[in-house]
């Protein structure tokens, strides 16, 4: 080429070429992985957010249910996904509990994910079948101490926030109750309604109809303050355990390494969606309260949860494998 080396020409061509720009985010449909069964509250939460996010982000939002192994199955799928912002994982308390109670996990909750936003939360309630002769937490403790190992309490599953709250309470109260895990809050509630299990520990709003009908008796709520739908029911803290505060929460994370700009966009649009009436109305009907936190705040929240749950699990000697 007239004595000009090929490599020089190639270099000049690259230098004169127009600069390449990264594709705007999002550039394709976004997959939301819900590691819970279809129809669960978390599934409803994900699908409720999908519509406004589709409009705001200009891409289809696909909710994919991947239940199994106490959310481990779906969480592993998300951990192995490309870190490009197009895979989002819906998480709950189990995300920060599993590392504390399971000896082997195919991912590291603290290193393999980046926080996007906290979505919602809800308090829990201790309730009993009417045949259980107690009307307060003090009476429940007395009954449990009089009959060690005789009382059973039902939750939505092993390693859930309900399970950890139950074990923490048992430890603080110095009582021995037997945990009976079910595959979701619905089956747990049915078991107590049928008298197969003595005590129920579930989200507050899921039991309101049964309390109103006299089929369940609420004993105490786990929130730091009394809840609107059960104003006459004291908190666990009021009942002799100051500082007791356990709630179920839900959030969104993405694989670690996802561009910060993508995380910021996702976080902003999720927090906006959580303020929409069509979103808050739906999640309120399933017993949740919008409780948005941005990415930095949610990251700090998750790290505190990981530390606290490790301490609680160690204190009550809780392992599930």
Let me know whether 222 and 259 are in one domain: no
Is residue 142 over pLDDT 50? Answer: yes
For 109-162, give the DSSP string.
Answer: TTTSEEEEEEEEEEEEEEEE-TTS--SSHHHHHHHHHHSTTT-EEEES-TTSHH
Paired strand residues for 286: none
Burial 131-159 (b: 16+ CB within 10 A, else e): ebebeebeebbebbeeeeeebebbbbbbb
Let me know whether 107 and 178 are in one domain: no
Question: What pLDDT sits at residue 92?
Answer: 93
Let me know whether 144 and 191 are in one domain: yes
Is 165 contained in some domain? yes
From 143, 161, 160, select the one nearest 152 (Cα to Cα): 143
Final residue of a domain: which of 198, 230, 262?
230
CB distance 125 to 222 below 8 Å:
yes
Is residue 12 over pLDDT 80? Answer: no
Let me know whether 127 and 222 are in one domain: yes
Let me know whether 114 and 253 are in one domain: yes
pLDDT, mean of residues 79-106? 95
Let me know whether 138 and 217 are in one domain: yes
Per cent of the chain over pLDDT 70 is 93
Is 8 contained in some domain? no
What 3-state DSSP class applies to 49? helix
Is 21 contained in some domain? no
Let me know whether 127 and 216 are in one domain: yes
Final residue of a domain: which of 230, 265, 291?
230
Is residue 174 over pLDDT 80? Answer: yes
CATH of the domain at 189: 3.40.190.10
Q: How many residues does the chain have?
A: 321
Let me know whether 63 and 129 are in one domain: no
From 19, 4, 90, select the one nearest 53 (Cα to Cα): 90
Is residue 7 over pLDDT 50? Answer: no
Query: How far is it, in rounded angstroms, from Cα 30 to Cα 184?
Result: 27
Final residue of a domain: which of 164, 197, 230?
230
> Range of 183's domain?
123-230
Is 198 contained in some domain? yes
Task: Give 247 or 287, the one with higher predicted confidence.
Answer: 247
Question: What pLDDT sits at residue 99?
Answer: 96
What is the pairing mode between strands 247-255 and 113-128? antiparallel
Let me know whether 129 and 263 are in one domain: no
pLDDT band per the 50, 70, 90 thresholds, residue 6: very low
Q: Give the count of domains, the chain.
A: 2
Is residue 4 over pLDDT 70? Answer: no
pLDDT band per the 50, 70, 90 thresholds, residue 20: very low
Is 13 contained in some domain? no
Is 18 contained in some domain? no
DSSP state of 104: -
| Angle at the Cα of 33 from the Cα atoms of 30 and 38, rounded to 5 degrees | 120
Is 179 contained in some domain? yes
Let me know whether 113 and 155 are in one domain: no
State the chain's mean pLDDT as an integer: 90
pLDDT, mean of residues 32-50? 87
CATH of the domain at 40: 3.40.190.150
Paired strand residues for 89: 33, 253
Let me know whether 149 and 179 are in one domain: yes
Let me know whether 219 and 160 are in one domain: yes
pLDDT band per the 50, 70, 90 thresholds, residue 168: very high
Is 69 contained in some domain? yes
DSSP state of 88: E
């Amino acid at each position: 080429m007239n004595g000009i080396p090929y490599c020089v020409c190639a270099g000049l061509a690259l230098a004169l070429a127009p600069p390449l720009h990264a594709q705007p985010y999002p550039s394709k449909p976004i997959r939301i992985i819900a590691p819970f069964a279809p129809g669960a509250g978390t599934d409803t939460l994900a699908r409720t957010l999908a519509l406004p996010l589709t409009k705001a982000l200009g891409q289809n939002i696909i909710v994919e249910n991947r239940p199994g192994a106490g959310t481990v199955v779906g969480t592993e799928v998300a951990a192995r996904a490309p870190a490009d912002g197009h895979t989002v994982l819906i998480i709950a308390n189990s995300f920060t509990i599993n590392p504390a109670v399971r000896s082997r996990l195919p991912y590291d909750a603290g290193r393999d994910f980046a926080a996007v936003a906290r979505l919602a939360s809800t308090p829990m309630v201790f309730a009993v079948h009417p045949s259980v002769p107690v009307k307060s937490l003090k009476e429940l403790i007395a009954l449990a101490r009089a009959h060690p190992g005789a009382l059973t309490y039902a939750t939505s599953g092993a390693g859930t926030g309900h399970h950890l709250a139950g074990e923490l309470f048992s430890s603080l109260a110095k009582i021995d109750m037997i945990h009976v895990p079910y595959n979701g809050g619905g089956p747990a509630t049915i078991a107590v309604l049928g008298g197969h299990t003595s005590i129920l520990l579930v989200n507050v709003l899921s039991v309101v109809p049964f309390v109103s009908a006299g089929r369940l008796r609420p004993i105490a709520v786990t929130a730091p303050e009394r809840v609107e739908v059960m104003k006459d029911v004291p908190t666990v803290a009021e009942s002799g355990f100051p500082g007791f505060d356990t709630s179920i929460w839900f959030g969104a994370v993405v694989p670690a390494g996802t561009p910060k700009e993508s995380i910021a966009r996702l976080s902003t649009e999720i927090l906006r969606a959580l303020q929409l009436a069509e979103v808050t109305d739906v999640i309120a009907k399933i017993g949740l309260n919008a409780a948005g936190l941005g990415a930095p705040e949610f990251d700090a929240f998750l790290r505190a949860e990981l530390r606290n749950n490790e301490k609680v699990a160690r204190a009550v000697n809780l392992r599930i494998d």
